Homo-oligomer: A and B are copies of this chain.
Amino acid sequence: MISSTKKTFTIGIDLGGTSIKAGAVDNHGKILSQYIADTKAHKGPSAVIQQILFSVQEILGKHKQSECRGIGIGAPGIVDLDSGFVKHPPNFSDWKEVALAKAIRKVIPLPVFIENDANAAALAEVKYGIGIEHKNFLFVIWGSGVGGGIIMNQKIFRGPHGGAGEIGHISIDYNGPECNCGSRGCIECYIGQRYLSERTRHILAAQPEDSPPSLIPKLVDGNLSLIEPSIISTAAEQGDMAACDILREAGELLGYALASVLNIIDLRVVVIGGGISGAPSFVFTAVESAIQSRVLKPLKPGIKVLRSNLGNNAGILGAASLVM
């Protein structure tokens, strides 16, 4: 492998359900170049692997391949670190257990490291974000879905089989709506992208005619199927009542779920990243207040909910740091 003291770089791949974000990252965590591709998750594993390979080659084309130290991939689902298998990523068609690392290495002769996407983003936080101040925290990715990375003593806590941290599938109501995972009432069912958008359409439809009109329909040019968390977030920033109510409620529900998580693993600090990390502060306050109201007494004094400062780059930076 190339020594890290030279002017080398690493490729970080943030494999999402809708897009693949690839980036060349230098040894100081600076993103030198980026490329975004469709994931094509509905077309099955071969199509997704093709898209990853294509993204890697796009990045390699912009730099000296001989200076690339390796490829790190943050993938959804449960990842077997040793074998490089990615298992049951939600919203990926026909994907049971795929030897992703091997498939990449077969085509590109570089070291490949894979990690769960939430864990990879949590690692970015350890290296470049909140982790500089806090050694122990729960990282929450709140975007299309809800994922988690448990950081203890600056390291990922994986549990005995490597799959720990699936906080999106904490159920907050055992009689709640059915989740993709087969369970009921998972927090992801209430605040994941799809559900949050549906909930917004539902609330807009139920608004009394004499109430002030929401900004949301305007922001999507009347096409309500285009509603997504960033739209709700933009409306909330402009003081839209419906948007504020929706996000405050979502924040509260997330807080209730996190209170259970913190009771189990005894963490106090929560960092929220992902698509929603740009939302107005009151959302973070709602999460914190809800945790405070539900968590066991001895935990209350230390509870803190922070916004990730790494934004959308956390996935790429975290994936790249797998190689470093």
Residues of chain A whose beta carbon lies under 8 Å from any beta carbon of chain B: 78, 87-88, 135-136, 148, 150, 152-153, 158-167, 169-175, 181-184, 253, 256, 259-261, 263-268, 293-299, 302
Contact = CB atoms under 8 A, between A and B. Distances in A.
Contact of A266 (B87, B160, B261): B160
Contact of A173 (B158, B172, B253): B172
Contact of A183 (B181, B182, B294): B294
Nearest to A252: B174
A165 B159 CA distance: 14
Contacts of A166: 263-264, 266, 296
Given A165-B264, A265-B265, A293 B170 contact: no
A78 B296 contact: yes
A158 B294 contact: no
Contacts of A259: 171, 183
A179 to B, nearest CB: 9
B78 A298 contact: yes
25 contacts: A78-B298, A135-B160, A136-B160, A152-B159, A159-B266, A163-B296, A163-B298, A164-B266, A165-B264, A165-B266, A166-B263, A166-B266, A169-B263, A171-B260, A171-B294, A173-B174, A174-B253, A181-B297, A182-B293, A182-B294, A183-B293, A184-B294, A260-B260, A264-B265, A265-B265
Contact of A267 (B78, B160, B183): B160
* The 5 residue pairs across chains A and B that have the minimum distance between CB atoms: A159-B266, A136-B160, A163-B266, A183-B294, A164-B266
A171 B169 CA distance: 13
A265 B78 contact: no
A135 B161 CA distance: 12
A183 B136 CA distance: 24
A304 B57 CA distance: 45
A158 B264 contact: no
Given A170-B260, A174-B256, A298 B88 contact: yes
A257 to B, nearest CB: 8
B167 A264 contact: yes
Nearest to A97: B298
A263 B170 contact: yes
Given A182-B293, A265-B265, 13 more contacts: A136-B160, A152-B160, A159-B267, A162-B266, A163-B296, A165-B264, A165-B266, A166-B263, A166-B264, A170-B260, A171-B172, A172-B174, A181-B296
Contacts of A184: 294
Nearest to A160: B136
Contacts of A148: 264
A174 B253 CA distance: 8
Given A184-B294, A265-B159, A297-B88, A260 B136 contact: no
